[in-house]
Amino acid sequence: MFVDEVTIRVKAGDGGNGCLAFRREKYVPKGGPSGGDGGRGGDIELFASIHHNTLLHFRFNPEHTAQRGRHGEGSNRTGRHGDSIKLPVPVGTIAWDADTGEMLHDFTVEGERCVVAKGGRGGRGNQHFATPVNQAPTYHEDGRPGQERRVRLELKLLADVGLVGFPNAGKSTLISRISAARPKIADYPFTTLEPNLGVVQTDDMKTFVVADIPGLIEGAHEGHGLGIQFLRHVERTRLLLHLVDVSEFTGREPKHDFDVIVKELASFSAELAAKPMFVVATKMDAAQDKKRVESLKRKAKRKGLPFFQISAVTGEGLQELVRAAAAEVGEKRMDGE
């Protein structure tokens, strides 16, 4: 099951109480106060792990509480600190405070760590309150409570290239031909129900990661079809490949399909709609009416977008598309984008 958004409740450990005690030993008639400090409560820490690719492990375990600190003891003994809890999240996860909307951390690199709930400080024992005028204090501090909050975790896949387009535009077939990914492929809409990742390697050994997301339809931003919930997974990409089916089987005009998807991207995010884009005419092996291809090509040219014609069945244009995508991704990497 692909789970890309969950809300969890985290509670750091409370600090232990300070101790009220006095030293009582033979031959030490006035030992004085000897109450030790309470231990610190455990933290709740998130860390980025490459061994997790969804947030499913939080779906059935949404509450996490760290251990509290032990209370202080006599003879100035400090209580043991509470054990912290370390929770793994996939690389690409963003942690938000669910109540305030504050972004806590964006995990983009393996091993990154962030404490989302800090344990409470232990209270001081009565040994700390002795003064020349009060050499036998009878008070101590209670431990501080640990931080408690609701954390919303949102996963955005890390990919260089994102595939967008109508259902059955050929996205899954394309990613299966240019990478080792094996998504489900069938001749009915919404075959893809969750994002798929594939690593593409060019002839000169350059690599980039492609994300195939479920198809969009008109009105997706209003919740039609599968909606736009998966578009977050192409927000980090450096390049979009906009696949348009130019065969006659759709019963729609390719340039109309292009306009619909561009509108849905803009409805989701202006930044996403402004990303570099290649227009890719797919299913060229089944395109009998060349006017449909030419009309889409003219629209891409008017918008200043590179245009490619491919057939995942025959392999037409695939290498050219892969090389151009690799070059674009490499250029964006050099620019630090």
80-117 per-position pLDDT tens digit:
999 999 999 999 999 999 999 999 999 999 999 999 99
Q: Are 124 and 76 in contact (CB under 8 A)?
A: no
**pTM value?**
0.76
Question: Model confidence at 69, in pLDDT bands (50, 70, 90)?
Answer: very high
Phi, psi of 290 (to 5 degrees): -70, -20
DSSP class of residue 151? E
Pairing state of beta strands 93-97 and 161-165?
unpaired
Taken as a whole, the chain contains a residue count of 337
pLDDT of residue 230: 77
Domains and CATH numbers, the chain: 1-155 (2.70.210.12), 161-334 (3.40.50.300)
pLDDT of residue 189: 55
For residue 159 the two structure tokens come to 């990919």
Chain CA centroid to CA 303, Å: 32
pLDDT of residue 226: 55
Query: How far is the C-alpha of 24 from the C-alpha of 144, rounded, in Å?
Result: 29
Quote the percentage of the chain above a pLDDT of 90: 52
Question: Model confidence at 243, in pLDDT bands (50, 70, 90)?
Answer: very high
pLDDT of residue 272: 85
Using alpha carbons only, give the angle 210, 217, 252 rounded to the nearest 5 degrees.
105
pLDDT of residue 30: 75
Query: How far is the C-alpha of 209 from the C-alpha of 98, rounded, in Å?
Result: 31
* CB burial string 146-177: b at 16+ within 10 A, e below: bbebebbbbbbbbbbbbbbbbbbbbbbbbbbb
Lowest-confidence pick of 50-59, 161-170, 198-207, 293-302: 198-207
For 275, other C-beta atoms within 10 Å of its C-beta total 18
Query: How far is the C-alpha of 329 from the C-alpha of 163, rounded, in Å?
Result: 14
- Radius of gyration of the CA atoms of the chain, in A: 29
Is the pLDDT reported for residue 332 higher than 90?
Answer: no
Q: How far is CA 19 from CA 74, 76, 145, 157, in A?
A: 7, 8, 17, 50
3-state helix/strand/coil string of 278-330? EEEEECHHHCCCHHHHHHHHHHHHHCCCCEEECCCCCCCCHHHHHHHHHHHHH
Question: Model confidence at 336, in pLDDT bands (50, 70, 90)?
Answer: low
Q: What's the mean pLDDT in 225-246?
A: 82
For residue 65 the two structure tokens come to 């509480």
